[in-house]
């Protein structure tokens, strides 16, 4: 378990002045709180729950659960009997009870330097109430699912909180996903309404989001699912020309967020032509003008759904991870407060996109529950140049900064000069998430970005866990570069061997959790059986993460990466099966096998082996077509880096593809280990000879 004393050697600490006054000041305090959290979770979380407003109190246990498939259905219930509203807790309570109405909730920083917008808690509440009324006016009711496909703008937060306010369930689809992916998610969760935007810029590239949304709506229709309404935010320009079948919506002043902005209309970039179907499409601003800014929150039961967020599944079909109201709210608030050691005057910046769980938990819910001030950034770390992040840190005096190893490795390539151009003296805590951080990147982050002053919180978690589960606390935990260190409160990890036995002391195996914490997912939307079989079947009694893990002699946990058929590309999980099925969807491909190949910036790159149908010749044109096929089916993040023509694939005698061998071929490692089960070993040599070697 947790060692009695933290090690003194080979560990790093943040500077004393940063650690003083912390919520959890020492390792001893962490240990003491940890013990309370696992021995008496009802008391521990019950105390945390006192920070929130409850319309009715819970009766019975704080957490009730079954993690053992052999004993019946898997379930997790938190605060049964209680009712509340998340939106009320993160906005109204801050504005009215805590008098934070004038405090800035978000400094929005656009893709283009100079594009900015400041939104206070009061303004946010006002817009959310209006938009909640808009949703109601469009017929959205409690329990209905609403799809959101938007760029990183404040209105995205407004849309999600408006759903929460009326008890609707948001299902956000990352704006980098394809029309096909959006359609698949809309149909799976039967969304009645879609919220999108005209478009946005990523660096100097225009993404015409509305065209993709239209394509998705059409695809839904083709599948027999009709989505009645699409609300479109004109982000790029209020005056965006509409190739409308009817007259465009009136351009009258709207008392919502847009009126307080400066220069959101791009002067240097063209705005897209937005097709408009008046039967379906409704203008965000017009609708906002027609409603009141008062909206009574819908009081919901603790275990009512809050949102669905899709994550890759090893069978290829994405899983709709479902999170519910009370547990998720308490857990994201508690982890945000303690892991970033949040203080009222902090300026916090998480660079993730809200389309991923990191953005849900640590841009929207966790920070707002704490009344935090955040930077919400629309752009890229490299636009207009590779100093952008540090320029933003200085501009807003960011004190807590949270990003991904892939971004750190990308910026590392340019050396320390672009970092040192800026002072960064406001920084206090640095965070990382998404994949294991290699010690070189950790050291660079610590010394160059944080001037060896700021502790680094390497937060391990998953879409499914809702919030951080293994992480250092900035003042309490001595850090080891590359280790996510110890469990957060209430989390009980174990390492299992292949036979499901718990390993003690120094060991390596499957990372599992023995009991729930409030923020853990409750089900796969519409498929509880899949929830049980994915996470609870392999080792009855445990939640299985799918990650490998090592525990060292000091009791530190080191995540070693996925041990299922998932790839982690730039901190995003992709399922090999999903990419394979996109490839075999092409008429020229008979069979495909996809593996990860180590990549210096992305962590892993996609290396695809394709066996073509008889008579088809592999050439550049086909390669380009296949890449396009995957991009269109899934999205740009899944674009293959390498495609190799594989006349045959290495298979066992029972016909199973030996991915382990393919991984070695992809990375050019000749030492293949035991290949005695291979049906035909000559296949391997042939594949080695035709390897794709070029760097991407
Ligand atoms: C997978 C979950 C949690 C938000 C982002 C990704 C990997 C995540 C770490 C870390 C080592 C990490 C794991 C995990 N992962 N954080 N700090 N150290 N690995 O969410 O898409 O659900 O992916 O990301 O493999 O299972 P996700």
CA 198/CA 219 separation, integer angstroms:
19
244 vs 40, which has greater pLDDT? 40
| 604 Cβ closer than 6 Å to some ligand 1 atom | no
CA 432/CA 408 separation, integer angstroms:
9
Q: What angle do CA 450, 332, 340 make, to 5 degrees?
A: 20
| 357 Cβ closer than 6 Å to some ligand 1 atom | yes
Q: Give the model's pLDDT for residue 695.
A: 53
CA 304/CA 163 separation, integer angstroms:
13
Residue nearest to atom 6 of ligand 1 (CA): 434
104-109 sheet: strands from edge to edge: 116-120, 104-109, 373-377, 347-350, 400-403, 429-432, 456-458
Residue 82 and residue 56 in contact, taking contact as beta carbons nearer than 8 Å? yes
Q: 420 burial class (0-12, 13-18, 19+ CB within 10 angstroms)?
A: middle
Q: Report the mean per-residue pLDDT for the chain.
A: 93
Q: Give the model's pLDDT for residue 313.
A: 84
Measure 431 CA to ligand 1 centroid, in angstroms.
Answer: 13
CA gyration radius, the chain:
25
| 471 Cβ closer than 6 Å to some ligand 1 atom | no
User: Residue 696 above 80 pLDDT?
Assistant: no
- pLDDT confidence tier of residue 246, bands split at 50, 70 and 90: very low
User: Residue 253 above 50 pLDDT?
Assistant: no
**Which residues is 59 bridged to in the sheet?**
none
- pLDDT confidence tier of residue 268, bands split at 50, 70 and 90: low
**Which ligand 1 atom minimizes the distance to the CA of 432?**
17
The upper half-sphere exposure of residue 291, i.e. CA atoms within 13 Å in the direction of its Cβ, equals 22
User: Residue 262 above 50 pLDDT?
Assistant: no
- pLDDT confidence tier of residue 60, bands split at 50, 70 and 90: confident
Residue nearest to atom 18 of ligand 1 (CA): 436
CA dihedral 687, 689, 690, 692 (to 10 degrees): 100
Which residue has tokens 């390596």? 508
Question: Cis peptide leading into 384, omega within 30 of 0?
Answer: yes
Helix intervals (H) in 40-120: 41-49, 86-87
CA distances (Å), origin 564, targets 510, 576, 596, 662: 11, 10, 12, 15
| 461 Cβ closer than 6 Å to some ligand 1 atom | yes
**Which residues is 539 bridged to in the sheet?**
none
Q: Which of 461, 550, 562, 602 to mutate to test the pocket of ligand 1 (most atoms within 8 A of CB)?
A: 461
User: Residue 239 above 70 pLDDT?
Assistant: no
| 460 Cβ closer than 6 Å to some ligand 1 atom | yes
CA 155/CA 145 separation, integer angstroms:
18
Residue 388 and residue 410 in contact, taking contact as beta carbons nearer than 8 Å? no
Q: Give the model's pLDDT for residue 203.
A: 96
CA 582/CA 662 separation, integer angstroms:
19
* Collapsed DSSP state (helix, strand, coil) of residue 540: coil
Q: Give the model's pLDDT for residue 23.
A: 98
| 434 Cβ closer than 6 Å to some ligand 1 atom | yes
* Collapsed DSSP state (helix, strand, coil) of residue 28: helix
User: Residue 351 above 70 pLDDT?
Assistant: yes
Average pLDDT over residues 235-244: 55
* Collapsed DSSP state (helix, strand, coil) of residue 449: helix
Q: What is the pLDDT of residues 289-331, one digit of tens each?
A: 999 999 999 999 999 999 999 998 877 789 999 999 999 999 9
User: Residue 266 above 50 pLDDT?
Assistant: no
| 403 Cβ closer than 6 Å to some ligand 1 atom | no
CA 571/CA 312 separation, integer angstroms:
13
Q: What angle do CA 165, 168, 170 make, to 5 degrees?
A: 100
| 513 Cβ closer than 6 Å to some ligand 1 atom | no
Residue 590 φ/ψ, nearest 5 degrees = -90, -40
What does the buried/exposed string (b/e) look like for 32-57 if buried means 16 or more CB atoms within 10 Å of the residue's CB?
ebbeebbeebeebbeebbeebebeee
Average pLDDT over residues 40-45: 95
Q: Which of 319, 403, 462 to mutate to test the pocket of ligand 1 (most atoms within 8 A of CB)?
A: 462
Within 8 A by CB and 6+ apart from 505, the residues are 551, 553
Residue nearest to atom 12 of ligand 1 (CA): 435
Q: What is the pLDDT of residues 157-184, one digit of tens each?
A: 999 999 999 999 999 999 999 999 999 9
Average pLDDT over residues 471-494: 98
Q: Which of 362, 460, 567 to mutate to test the pocket of ligand 1 (most atoms within 8 A of CB)?
A: 460
Measure 672 CA to ligand 1 centroid, in angstroms.
Answer: 28
Q: Which of 364, 434, 481, 513 to mutate to test the pocket of ligand 1 (most atoms within 8 A of CB)?
A: 434
Q: What is the pLDDT of residues 193-202, one digit of tens each?
A: 999 999 999 9
User: Residue 577 above 80 pLDDT?
Assistant: yes
What is the pTM assigned to this prediction?
A: 0.92
Q: What is the pLDDT of residues 627-679, one digit of tens each?
A: 999 999 999 999 999 999 999 999 887 778 888 899 999 999 988 888 887 88
Measure 561 CA to ligand 1 centroid, in angstroms.
Answer: 8
């Amino acid at each position: 378990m947790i060692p009695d004393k933290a090690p003194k050697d080979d560990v790093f600490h943040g500077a004393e002045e940063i650690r003083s006054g912390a919520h959890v000041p020492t390792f001893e305090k962490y240990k003491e709180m940890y013990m309370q959290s696992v021995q008496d979770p009802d008391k521990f979380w019950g105390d945390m729950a006192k920070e929130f407003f409850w319309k009715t109190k819970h009766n019975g246990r704080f957490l009730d659960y079954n993690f053992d498939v052999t004993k019946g259905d898997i379930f997790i219930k938190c605060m049964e009997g209680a009712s509340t509203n998340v939106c009320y807790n993160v906005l109204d309570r801050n504005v009215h009870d805590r008098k934070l109405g004038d405090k800035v909730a978000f400094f929005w920083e656009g893709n283009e330097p100079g594009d900015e917008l400041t939104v206070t808690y009061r303004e946010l509440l006002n817009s959310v109430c209006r938009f909640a009324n808009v949703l109601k006016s469009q017929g959205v009711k409690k329990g209905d699912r609403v799809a959101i496909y938007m760029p990183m703008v404040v209105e995205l937060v407004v849309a999600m909180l408006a759903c929460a306010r009326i008890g609707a369930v948001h299902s956000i689809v990352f704006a980098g996903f394809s029309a096909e992916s959006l359609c698949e998610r809309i149909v799976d969760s039967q969304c009645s309404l879609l919220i999108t935007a005209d478009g946005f810029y990523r660096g100097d590239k225009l993404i015409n989001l509305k065209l993709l949304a239209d394509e998705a709506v059409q695809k839904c229709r083709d599948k027999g699912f009709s989505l009645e309404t699409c609300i479109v935010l004109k982000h790029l320009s209020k005056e965006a020309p509409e190739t409308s079948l009817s007259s465009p919506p009136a351009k009258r002043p709207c008392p919502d967020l847009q009126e307080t902005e400066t220069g959101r209309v791009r002067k240097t970039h063209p705005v897209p032509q937005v097709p408009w179907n008046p039967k379906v499409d409704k203008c965000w601003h017009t609708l906002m003008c027609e409603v009141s800014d008062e909206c009574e929150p819908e009081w919901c039961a603790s275990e009512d759904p809050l949102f669905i967020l899709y994550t890759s599944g090893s069978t290829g079909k994405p899983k709709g991870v479902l999170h519910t109201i009370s547990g998720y709210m308490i857990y994201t608030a508690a982890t945000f407060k303690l892991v970033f050691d949040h203080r009222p005057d902090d300026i916090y910046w998480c660079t993730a996109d809200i389309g991923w769980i990191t953005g849900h938990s640590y841009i929207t819910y966790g920070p707002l529950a704490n009344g935090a001030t955040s930077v919400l950034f629309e752009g890229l770390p490299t636009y207009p140049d590779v100093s952008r992040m540090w320029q933003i840190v200085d501009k807003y005096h960011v004190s807590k900064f949270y990003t991904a190893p892939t971004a750190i490795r990308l910026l590392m390539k340019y050396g320390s000069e672009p970092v040192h151009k800026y002072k960064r003296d406001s920084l206090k805590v640095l965070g990382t998430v998404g994949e294991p951080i290699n010690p070189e990147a950790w050291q660079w982050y610590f010394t160059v970005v944080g001037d060896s002053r700021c502790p680094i919180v390497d937060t391990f978690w998953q879409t499914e866990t809702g919030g951080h589960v293994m992480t250092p606390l900035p003042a309490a935990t001595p850090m080891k570069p590359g280790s996510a260190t110890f469990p957060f409160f209430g989390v009980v990890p174990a390492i299992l061997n292949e036979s499901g036995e718990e390993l003690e002391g120094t060991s390596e195996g499957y990372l599992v959790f023995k009991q729930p914490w409030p923020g853990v997912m409750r089900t796969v939307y519409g498929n509880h059986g899949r929830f049980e079989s994915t996470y609870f079947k392999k080792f009855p009694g445990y939640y299985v993460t799918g990650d490998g893990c090592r525990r060292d002699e000091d009791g530190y946990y080191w995540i070693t990466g996925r041990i299922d058929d998932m790839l982690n590309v730039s901190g995003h999980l992709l399922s090999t099966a999903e990419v394979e099925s996109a490839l075999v969807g092409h008429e020229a491909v008979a069979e495909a096998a996809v593996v990860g190949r180590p990549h210096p910036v992305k962590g892993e790159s996609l290396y695809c082996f394709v066996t073509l149908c008889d008579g088809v010749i592999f050439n550049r044109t086909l390669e380009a077509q296949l890449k396009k096929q995957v991009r269109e089916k899934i999205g740009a993040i899944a674009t293959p880096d390498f495609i190799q023509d594989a006349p045959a694939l290495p298979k066992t005698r029972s016909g199973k593809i030996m991915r382990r061998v393919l991984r070695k071929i992809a990375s050019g490692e000749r030492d293949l280990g035991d290949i005695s089960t291979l049906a035909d070993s000559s296949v391997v040599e042939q594949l080695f000879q035709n390897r794709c070697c070029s760097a991407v």
